[in-house]
Amino acid sequence: MNDLNLKDHNQNQTYNNIHEFFWGFGSAFHTVYAVVPLFLKKLGAPEAIAMSSTGLFSVLVAIPMLVTAALSRNIVNLKKAVISVHCLILTISFFLGYTFTFTHLGTSPGAWKVYFFFFVLYSLSVGIIVPIWADFLDKTTNKSLRGKFFGLGFAFNSMGGFVGGTVLKFLLKTNISFPRNFGYGFFILFISLLFGTAIFYFYKEKKRTHNKKSYNQFMVETKLIINSHPNFHRYLFSRIFYCATLPAMGLYAIYCQNKFNFDISEVGLFAVLNVTSMGLVSYFSGNIGDKYGHKTSMVFAYSFHFFAVVLALNAKNMFWVYSIFIVIGAGQGSFMPSAMNLIYDFAGNRDKKTYMALIDSFLAPFALAFIIGIGVLVNKGEFVLSFYILGTCLLLAILLLQFFVKDPKENAHQIKSSIE
């Protein structure tokens, strides 16, 4: 499969920037690190459920990924496929907005359970989308420019999030009653994702030959990856401890809300600060990864999240709370382009969907263990102990990644010989 010519790659960069802007704008109204846990809490959900929602999102995303990777190996029209699977999340977003804007279910005693049902469907739909989306982007980008492609794309995602977060803060400050104000936000999410999905139609794809692959071939290749890729194994081991970020993401909002009793409209400002930081760091992270290797950018991602725990443990006023969400944004901005590019680097010429699905499927039980464990501690009021545990795990993740994992770009020839 040949690379795109530079003109087509740059056009795809432009289309992807627009797509990511719409996705970022819409997602600001449903951020899993701030809006979701605080919305659940205000609806009356148990605190442990609200806090664990961010981590549970990642677990639910992982559930369908391996099956999707196996079933989607013989897709001929990737563009049609990526648009089709996005229709799942569009449908869920529409009915989520409709339910909390126009029906009595949003104000019923069990409203949090109704929302939680939609949240589960939303998360599962993301898990179906991601492997096909990743494969589609592999066919619409040039390898040598991929770091910049993702870094710039996620930067535009953050710009959209900045605008969306500003609108969200204004929306929650209006006289529109709860939860209808959030319902309008979910409608905005639907409309924004609709525009973002339509942009896929304009992408240019690489010319490729289609070789049909059987399920048995999928199983053989998966076993080879599992048994013959020690550097990839070490990377996964570091990611086990990085799973500590998942309960932490929801814990920050709940812990700080309990401690400082801020108004729920502050989630709009949290989103603005988070995505601004994410966008700036994402752009530089992609470029650093292209130049020095994406493992370097990933070490920064781990370190930013560790620093967020330190800030939470020492928070004395709202300035510290704002700083937490800025640092989380920097961690996310480093992580997203690095994680995507490391998958492509580890996979080489092999199926990227399988690598992505293996990572998330392997990590899901560990993420669930972190969520349950921290949830038990939170129910007992042990917020500080929870942060100490999460911080220790993140420090271990940093040390493992830095000293035991080789950058897959430098190790590419060894990977090729061990797999092939």
Q: In CATH, what number is assigned to the domain containing residue 306?
A: 1.20.1250.20
Q: What angle do CA 58, 398, 401 make, to 5 degrees?
A: 85
Task: Read off the pTM.
Answer: 0.81
The answer to the question of residue 253 being in a domain is yes
The answer to the question of residue 209 being in a domain is no
Q: CA 408 to CA 412: how far, in whole Å? A: 6
The answer to the question of residue 117 being in a domain is yes
Neighbouring C-beta atoms of residue 387, cutoff 10 Å: 23
The answer to the question of residue 146 being in a domain is yes
3-state class (DSSP) for residue 116: helix
Domain that holds residue 402: 6-204+215-419
Helices (H), 201-314: 215-227, 230-242, 245-260, 266-292, 294-314
Please, what sign has the CA dihedral across residues 315, 320, 325, 326?
Answer: negative
The answer to the question of residue 300 being in a domain is yes
**How many domains does the chain divide into?**
1
Tens-level pLDDT at each residue, the chain (420 residues): 567 888 999 999 999 999 999 999 999 999 888 899 989 999 999 888 888 888 899 889 989 988 888 888 778 889 999 999 999 999 999 999 999 999 999 889 999 999 999 999 999 999 999 989 988 998 899 888 888 898 889 889 989 988 998 999 899 999 999 999 999 999 999 999 999 999 999 999 987 666 666 667 777 777 777 777 889 999 999 999 999 888 888 889 889 988 999 888 888 888 889 888 988 898 888 888 888 889 999 999 999 999 999 999 999 999 999 999 999 999 998 998 899 889 888 888 777 778 888 888 899 999 999 989 998 998 888 999 999 999 999 999 999 999 999 998 765 544 444 444
The answer to the question of residue 1 being in a domain is no
The answer to the question of residue 333 being in a domain is yes
The answer to the question of residue 310 being in a domain is yes
